[in-house]
Amino acid sequence: MKVSRQIAALEPMVLQPLRQLEGEDWHRTVPRKWSIAQIVRHLAIGVDYSAATLEKRGERKDLKRRATPRQTLFRHVYLGLGRVKSGRDAPAGTVPEERPDPEAAVAQFRMGVARLEQLLATWPRERQLAIFARNPALGDLNLPEWVRFHFVHCRHHAKQIQARLRWLGARKVAKG
């Protein structure tokens, strides 16, 4: 799938199912799992980080990809196969607070996606491939790789959001 289609898919994939969600439902969850608000906040932190870091490094000409052999292997598997192994702990900087503000999380997610779209629209292809930002598990990623990462990552969490929405629906029916 082309980078432009992947970036365009992020908001609908994550946010469209949440249109009718309101109030405390954003924060309800099953034990030892994140709430929907926490999932959106986690995704927002990641998108915002990558956009901000790429923007900051945009004029650099001296960047070289940094990655361990393990990160290089993970990068090829993750980006190539497009699968996320469940049960992995999120990097410390992307762990959401206990009760994030849903409106702020949604806004941060949308703004991060818009910033990545802007970079794709304004940077020449050579710059998109030559500017890197660090991913803790995959090593340095360039702009198209970050978009692919976010597409795969958001798809993984969109499945979790769907599961939480089904759980909320069943819970409401049971309370009926």
Burial of 127 (0-12, 13-18, 19+ CB in 10 A): middle
| Cα distance between residue 46 and residue 98, in whole Å | 17
Domain membership flag for residue 136: yes
- pLDDT at position 1 is 67
Domain membership flag for residue 29: no
**Average pLDDT estimate for 27-53:** 95
Q: How many domains does the chain have?
A: 1
pTM of the shown model: 0.94
The range of the structural domain enclosing residue 129 comes to: 3-15+34-84+98-175
**Average pLDDT estimate for 134-162:** 97
- pLDDT at position 84 is 81
Domain membership flag for residue 26: no
DSSP H helical ranges for 82-124: 102-122
Domain membership flag for residue 25: no
Q: Where residue 60 sits, what CATH number does that domain have?
A: 1.20.120
| Strands 139-141 and 133-135, bridge-based pairing | antiparallel
Domain membership flag for residue 67: yes
Domain membership flag for residue 129: yes
**What three-state secondary structure class fits 31?**
coil
Domain membership flag for residue 91: no
Specify the higher pLDDT residue, 20 or 104: 104
| Cα distance between residue 79 and residue 94, in whole Å | 20
